[in-house]
Chains A and B, each alone.
Chain A
């Protein structure tokens, strides 16, 4: 998955598990940038009675690098507090929740937003209410109204939302994790001597699940090094690097015969996310937990996995005869390094750049001077749409297909014009599109769709 359960340690700590990160120029408010950081993978909407919530013992952060060194220059920090109105009740709610301050809602969450820059901490908002989870027609009869009440205006033209949203990342999990099977092409899979498979349509493995999102919309000038609103696409000052993270305190102590848990010490990072699928696909199993603890500035040590991705070596084996040129490609993948670790410099794609310099750092890089597309292409830059991934990431971008094709060699000619990608490299996909997402995306903040209600959602079926 993008970064759901992508490393051994964080897969056991879902409230701190970064799942997806989006950053894009707001299409309905082009002077601003929207950044959405998701946590809590694969929430089944009916997962009560203790429905999903942020961790009050976790510090969530959205980090901005605006000088290209892979360290955070601006941090937005989110700290949550849970309030239980009636600890003697086992109920999440004792009646319909008709507003987010409803007395019927027994377990509310509130949060603060703090902007940290140059050592200065500025509290932008405190006591901000989250919406409840979407439970069903009796408990949350007008969920969109509840969610709208949880959109808060912050000083300086900023807007924030934190709460449950529909999962927007679409991927055929069941197929891909079954030895790299891609249903539309599975008739070509080696199958390891097992019976062959017939090509089939992709299945969206995350459909109808929910996540918990922190969505923040800020003026561009809130992010840039000089506090300006960029207009020059070719200027490096127009590019910011974005990543999200979650931290826990260093020590946890439990006491016997007690519900008391004491936490103390510095906040230490346990999860981070820049580009989708980076830690999941390009970092070895034995190093994923380490990667989660480090800042992007330390990513040089992981460059080998980008230069020689394991998946690029596997594709010709899993699909015999389909990727002959990729099989012969042994040179370091400078194309992937540029896309994922430095940004693409000027002169590679006409009229485009999102370089942050020479520091190797996994960040979602967004050139703020590139306006939103009036006709977005879900394949982003490789589909001819510079407003999409890997220039930031929009909620509907097909990052699985983009990264599959890039790893399969379709982007290697950017750095070596003599290389001819295999025909399959430009066609490979898990067979999904935004139409595979049952819940539609929104056209305005917070852009991710309304989470499914627990009552309205059927348990998983079989294909």
Chain B
């Protein structure tokens, strides 16, 4: 996915509800090593940016992270 497409996608996705869903390298590069090692897409779900809790999903795996920095960065990217 090109950067421009990804930015557009992040913007569109973030409009929905209280949560936020983003795709790809934005999170994968900083997420749990096992999740990042997957060859397929990675989905991150930030239910509430204030708590920093992030669910990172790849295949059937789901890893929960607690990282306020990443959550805040994603929230800023979505604005």
Evaluate whether A253 and B23 lie within 8 angstroms (CB atoms) in the complex, with A262-B43, A264-B41, A265-B55 already known.
yes
Q: Which of A251-271 contact B (CB under 8 A)?
A: 251, 253, 255-256, 262, 264-267
B40 CB to closest chain A CB (Å) equals: 8
Report the nearest B residue to A266, measured CB to CB: B62
CA distance A250 to B9 in the complex (A): 19
Evaluate whether A256 and B62 lie within 8 angstroms (CB atoms) in the complex, with A251-B43, A251-B45 already known.
no
A264 touches B8 (CB 8 A): no
| Chain B residues with CB under 8 A of A313 | none
CA distance A250 to B56 in the complex (A): 11
B12 CB to closest chain A CB (Å) equals: 8
Does A249 have its Cβ within 8 Å of any Cβ on chain B? yes
| Chain B residues with CB under 8 A of A251 | 21, 43, 45, 57
Q: Which of A218-255 contact B (CB under 8 A)?
A: 249-251, 253, 255
| Chain A residues with CB under 8 A of B59 | 264
Q: Which of B1-35 contact A (CB under 8 A)?
A: 1, 5, 8-9, 12-13, 21, 23
Q: Which of A262-296 contact B (CB under 8 A)?
A: 262, 264-267
A265 touches B23 (CB 8 A): no
Report the nearest B residue to A267, measured CB to CB: B60
Does B78 have its Cβ within 8 Å of any Cβ on chain A? no
A428 CB to closest chain B CB (Å) equals: 44
Q: Tell me if A's interface is mostly helix, strand, loop or mixed.
A: strand
Q: How large is the interface on B (under 10, 10 to 19, 20 to 34, 35 or more residues)?
A: 20 to 34
Most buried by B among A262, A264, A266: A264
| Chain A residues with CB under 8 A of B62 | 250, 264-266
B9 touches A264 (CB 8 A): no
CA distance A264 to B22 in the complex (A): 12
Does B58 have its Cβ within 8 Å of any Cβ on chain A? yes
CA distance A450 to B8 in the complex (A): 50
CA distance A187 to B42 in the complex (A): 61
B36 CB to closest chain A CB (Å) equals: 14
B43 touches A256 (CB 8 A): no
CA distance A262 to B55 in the complex (A): 16
Q: Which residue from B5, B45, B60, B61 sits with its C-beta under 8 Å from A256?
A: B5
| Chain A residues with CB under 8 A of B58 | 264
B25 CB to closest chain A CB (Å) equals: 14
B78 CB to closest chain A CB (Å) equals: 15
| Chain A residues with CB under 8 A of B40 | 262, 264
Partner-B contacts on A (CB < 8 A): 249-251, 253, 255-256, 262, 264-267
List 13 additional A-B contacts (Cβ < 8 Å) besides A256-B8, A265-B62: A250-B45, A251-B45, A251-B57, A253-B41, A253-B43, A256-B5, A256-B9, A262-B40, A264-B43, A264-B58, A265-B43, A265-B60, A265-B61
Partner-A contacts on B (CB < 8 A): 1, 5, 8-9, 12-13, 21, 23, 40-43, 45, 55, 57-62
Top 9 A-B pairs, shortest CB-CB distance? A265-B57, A264-B57, A251-B43, A264-B43, A265-B62, A266-B62, A262-B41, A251-B57, A253-B23
